[in-house]
Chain A
Amino acid sequence: QQQVKQSPQSLIVQKGGISIINCAYENTAFDYFPWYQQFPGKGPALLIAIRPDVSEKKEGRFTISFNKSAKQFSLHIMDSQPGDSATYFCAASIPQGGSEKLVFGKGTKLTVNP
């Protein structure tokens, strides 16, 4: 099952608050889990990523929590800022043929109010 389920579809947070986006997967062949940030009219830009042998990764205000047994991972944005307003996609990478394919979640539109 090559799907990644993402929730919520949209999220509104006050400036300074914590934004939490959740994703779940089924296929244990996924070997890399990136999060992408996308602004309108732009391509997805890598935000932070994690491998399944690590339970947490933090980069600045962004943290990925990874639960391998539950097949779930989440993005936490601390001290959310209006500039963080964007669509966030979780993804999972799977070896396919001679390359690597990304399977994306449906995205979460984050709005951070001033």
Chain B
Amino acid sequence: EPEVTQTPSHQVTQMGQEVILRCVPISNHLYFYWYRQILGQKVEFLVSFYNNEISEKSEIFDDQFSVERPDGSNFTLKIRSTKLEDSAMYFCASSPLRGAHGYTFGSGTRLTVV
């Protein structure tokens, strides 16, 4: 069964450093998403991406965050200057169509900011 692949599985970084979280969505999917889950809390929407541009972003997704699809397969989330409160699980998801019924989530990257 096709998977959304995320790397690394765990990243530890110092406060103020830049991090890039990587995702390989399912190959024929057209919509891409990032969500995050702070430990013990609910999963929260960050951003959606379609046709090489951001479709929608949440209030969490401020100027410190950016997304990119640098080639035909990768989808990245960059946090420019990490804060302690950015520590969370970050999930990438993709879907073939606009509707949510095709959403597939990756296993996540656990980001720890120290």
Report the minimal beta-carbon distance from B99 to chain A, rounded to whole angstroms. 6
Mark A83-99 against chain B: 1 for CB-CB distance below 8 A, else 0: 00000010101011111
Question: Once the chains bind, are A104 and B55 in contact (CB under 8 Å)?
Answer: no
Question: Once the chains bind, are B99 and A96 in contact (CB under 8 Å)?
Answer: no
Across the interface, A99 reaches (CB within 8 A) one of B35, B50, B101, B107, namely B50
Question: Once the chains bind, are A44 and B55 in contact (CB under 8 Å)?
Answer: no
By a CB distance below 8 angstroms, the chain A residues around B50 are 98-99
List the count of A-B residue pairs having beta carbons below 8 Å apart: 74
Mark B50-73 against chain A: 1 for CB-CB distance below 8 A, else 0: 110001100000000000000000
Q: What DSSP secondary structure best describes chain B's contact surface? A: strand
A102 CB-CB contact with B under 8 Å: yes
Q: What DSSP secondary structure best describes chain A's contact surface? A: strand
Question: Once the chains bind, are A93 and B99 in contact (CB under 8 Å)?
Answer: yes
Mark A23-42 against chain B: 1 for CB-CB distance below 8 A, else 0: 00000000010101000011
Q: Which of B35-54 contact A (CB under 8 A)?
A: 35, 41-45, 48-51
Question: Once the chains bind, are A44 and B98 in contact (CB under 8 Å)?
Answer: no
Across the interface, B45 reaches (CB within 8 A) one of A42, A43, A95, A101, namely A101
Nearest-CB residue, chain B, relative to A93: B100
Q: How far is the CA of A36 from the CA of B51 in the complex (A)?
A: 27
Q: Which of A64-114 contact B (CB under 8 A)?
A: 89, 91, 93, 95-107
